[in-house]
Amino acid sequence: MSEEPRRTLRDTDWHGLALRAARTVRRLAPGSEWVSLPGSDRPSDRVARLLEEAAGDRPSAVRELGLAAVQVWQAFSRPGLAGGDVTILFTDLVGFSTWALEAGDDSVLRLLREVGAATEAVVTRRGGKVVKSLGDGVMAVFADTGAAIEAAAEACTAVSAITLDGYRPQLRTGLHTGRPRRVGRDYLGVDVNVAARVAAAAAGGEVLVSGPALATVDTARYVVRRRRRFRAKGTPKDLEVFSVVPRHA
C-alpha cells in the first residue's frame, strides 16, 4: 500500500468523530465488563489483549470496534444468557470483621487485594465468571457445577496460604444451582439468595453445596457429608446442604 492511502487510513482511525462513534458502539455492546480478564487464557481474552497491544497507547477507532466485537462474543458465551441453569458461588472470610477492627486500614486493604486476586484467578482458570466483589468475598457463576466445586476448594486452599502479620485468613464457600435472572452484569432472584445463605452456613475452608447443585455432578468424585439441621431464612424448608471435598488422585 502506498504512503498516501496508508496515511488516510491512519488519520481516519485517529479522527475524533470516528473515535467517538466507535467508543459509543463499544459502550453499548454487551459484555464490556468482561474484556481481557487478567491471567485468562480464553481465546476471546487473547484476541482482546492483541487488539490492545497492537494499538499501544494511541487512540484507535479500529481497536474500539474490534473490542466491541470481542465483548459481544464474550457476552453470548456467558453462563445464564439464555436463561439456562448456572451454578452460583459465594465466598467470604470467616471472622474477618473482628480481625479488621484491630488490623488497621492498610493491612485490611492489602489482605483484601491478596484474597481477591487469589480467588478470582482460580475462578477464571476453572471457567467461571466473577460477577462482583463483596468486600471480603466474591459472587461468581459457572456453567458447570463440577468446575464450581473444584474452584471453591482451590480458592479455600489458596487463601489459607496467605499470611499477613501472623494472620491466616480462612475462606468459606457455598454453591447452589438454579436459574437466576440476569440483569446487566448481575444476577438476581431466589437462587442467588439461596447460594448466599448456603455460603454463610459454611465453616472456614469448607465447601457447602445445595442438593440441587450436587444432583448435577457425579458424587463418586467427592467425599460428601450431609449437613443436618440446615435452616436459613429465605431458603426452602426442605433444602438439603452437603459438605463436599473433591477426591484427587
Judged against a pLDDT cut of 80, whether residue 31 lies above it is answered with: no
**How large is the angle between the packed helices 16-28 and 61-75, nearest 10 degrees?**
10
Question: Is residue 50 one of the residues assigned to a domain?
Answer: yes
The cell numbers describing 113, all together, are 487485594
Strand pairing report for 86-93 and 171-178: antiparallel
Q: Are residues 49 and 16 in the same domain?
A: yes
Are residues 127 and 212 located together in one domain of the fold? yes
Cβ atoms of 149 and 209 closer than 8 Å: yes
Shared-domain flag, residues 98 and 150: yes
The percentage of the chain sitting over the pLDDT mark of 70, rounded to a whole number, equals: 68
Query: pTM for the complete prediction?
Result: 0.68
Q: How many CA atoms lie within 13 A of 144 on its CB side?
A: 11
Mark out the alpha helices in 161-189 (DSSP H runs): none
User: DSSP letter string over 101-163?
Assistant: HHH-HHHHHHHHHHHHHHHHHHHHHTT-EEEEE-SS-EEEEES-HHHHHHHHHHHHHHHHT--
229: which 3 cell numbers? 439441621
pLDDT digits 0-9 by tens, 187-204: 999 999 999 999 999 999
For 61-85, the pLDDT digits (tens) are: 677 766 666 665 555 555 554 457 8
Number of domains in the chain: 2
Tell me, what DSSP letter sits at residue 34? G
Residue 14 confidence (pLDDT): 47
Question: Quick one: 213 and 112 in the same domain?
Answer: yes
Cα–Cα distance between 133 and 184 in angstroms, integer?
Answer: 15
Q: What is the reported pLDDT for 30?
A: 53
Closest CA to 167 of 204, 120, 135, 122: 204
Domain ends where: 44, 75, 106?
75
90 within some domain? yes
- Domain's final residue, options 53, 75, 97: 75
66 and 149 inside one domain: no
pLDDT of residue 53: 67
Instruction: Answer yes or no: do 91 and 69 share one domain.
Output: no
Q: Is the same domain home to 70 and 193?
A: no
Average pLDDT, the chain: 81
Alpha-carbon distances, residue 99 vs 115, 232, 248 (angstroms): 15, 25, 33
CA distance 212 to 178: 8
Mark which of 46, 75, 104 sits at the end of a domain.
Answer: 75
Distance CA 67, CA 74 (A): 10
Rounded mean pLDDT, 26-42: 52
Read off the pLDDT of each residue in 31-41 and give the average, rounded to a whole number.
49
**Burial of 189 by CB count in 10 Å (0-12 exposed, 13-18 middle, 19+ buried)?**
middle
> Which residues make beta-bridge pairs with 142?
87
Q: Are 212 and 141 within one domain?
A: yes
